[in-house]
Structure 1
């Protein structure tokens, strides 16, 4: 599954490269990452016994990676990225494909889909163990967590110079991370805030 998604991403980049009518620019990006994971239950009785007390993980860290800026027109660009983000005991590889629209000469808004691949979910696993103990559905946490998530990202950026951009993006998961025996009452979804810079070559 991961290999198929990765190959699809590479194929998209290759296609975009051949179709673009303007120069394609390569860059590097990095900055502050804040990840948030919500544990939600759909059962008020479970909330009364304390499951909601395990309901949130909020960590701060960093992200780094590479990106392409593909100018389809003067105002509309496509920006695929490959980044690695780490915040305490959570780490992810992100594959966003952002559509960028310049609403002013140097200011753009962006939106698009994002795949995230988890490489470390220790904080989430520990919380699941606590929640499942209360629910009486103890299982192997490695078997109940999905390692691939689908997100939607929105953000904005400002080109300080021709080569230097500051940008911020908020992404939230559309898919549920949890795939265990308590799936009827327990949902786990994450979100991320990135605030950083990009340098184009």
Structure 2
């Protein structure tokens, strides 16, 4: 009985919330993407000879995709997106879910989790081969590289018009890309910075 009552209360609250909010807005987005991948080692000798500096990837490219802006309450929105990003020999599909809060009339800040799915990691694979040669743990690079990562992102945006906005976001990986035999001394994590425009229909 208590579970049924709790469900009814939650359902009524959700219906009131949905009826009070505006309809979701759909849009497209795109712009400049900069990706950075750091190879960090816990081996002091390798750090001394500069492996961290040797194995560092920084690439610039573009991103494009679609988004949905959902107004939950006044000033607070949820914005899920599906993006494709490419930067030289790295490419990813990103699935961010950003919470947006309008701190001023047209200016908002945003933060939230993001999944990234790699479709091309050739630059990282080459760097892993070079790093594993120094570590003496050569293996099949396709077996030691995780293709899915979990990120956290934050940024800001400005609504130029009712349909056009500019936004910038920085995200960094919480998970380690590397799962090979050198896992005790080698971590591979990426980050991304994007700045672009969003057009709402």
TM superposition score normalised by structure 1: 0.89
Q: 2:25 matched to which residue of 1?
A: 25
Other-structure match for 1:128: 128
CA contact (8 A) 2:27 2:200 kept: yes
Cα distance between partner residues in 1 of 2:52 and 2:24: 48
Deviations 1:3-44 (A, max 9, x none): xxxxxxxxxxxx9xx947321000000000000000000111
Match of 1:169 in 2: 169
Show structure 2 runs of 5+ residues with no match: 1-13
- Contact 1:35–1:60 under 8 Å retained in 2: yes
- Tell me, yes or no, if the aligned pair for 1:54 and 1:130 is still in contact at 8 Å: no
Q: How does 1:16-165 map to 2 (within 5 A)?
A: 19=18, 21-165=21-165
Q: Determine the C-alpha separation between the residues in 1 that align with 2:72 and 2:171.
A: 24
Q: 1:19 to 1:148 in 2, by over 3 A?
A: farther
CA RMSD of aligned residues (A): 1.4
CA distance in 2, matches of 1:114, 1:78: 13
Q: In structure 1, what is the equivalent of residue 9 of structure 2?
A: none
Taking a change above 3 Å as real, the CA distance of residues 53 and 157 of structure 1, as seen in their structure-2 partners, is closer
Whether the aligned pair in 2 keeps the contact of 1:29 and 1:198 (CA below 8 Å) is: yes
Shift of 1:60: 0.1
Shift, 1:151, TM fit: 0.2
TM-score by length of 2: 0.89
CA distance in 1, matches of 2:74, 2:50: 54
User: Aligned partners of 2:22, 2:159: CA distance in 1, in Å?
Assistant: 18
Counterpart-to-counterpart distance in 1, 2:136 and 2:162 = 57
Cα distance change on mapping 1:50 and 1:103 into 2, 3 Å = closer
Cα offset for 1:55? Answer: 2.8
Q: Distance in 2 between matches of 1:86 and 1:167?
A: 18
**Counterpart for residue 194 of structure 1:** 194
Instruction: Tell me: CA distance 1:50–1:105, structure 2 relative to 1, closer, same or farther (3 Å).
Output: closer
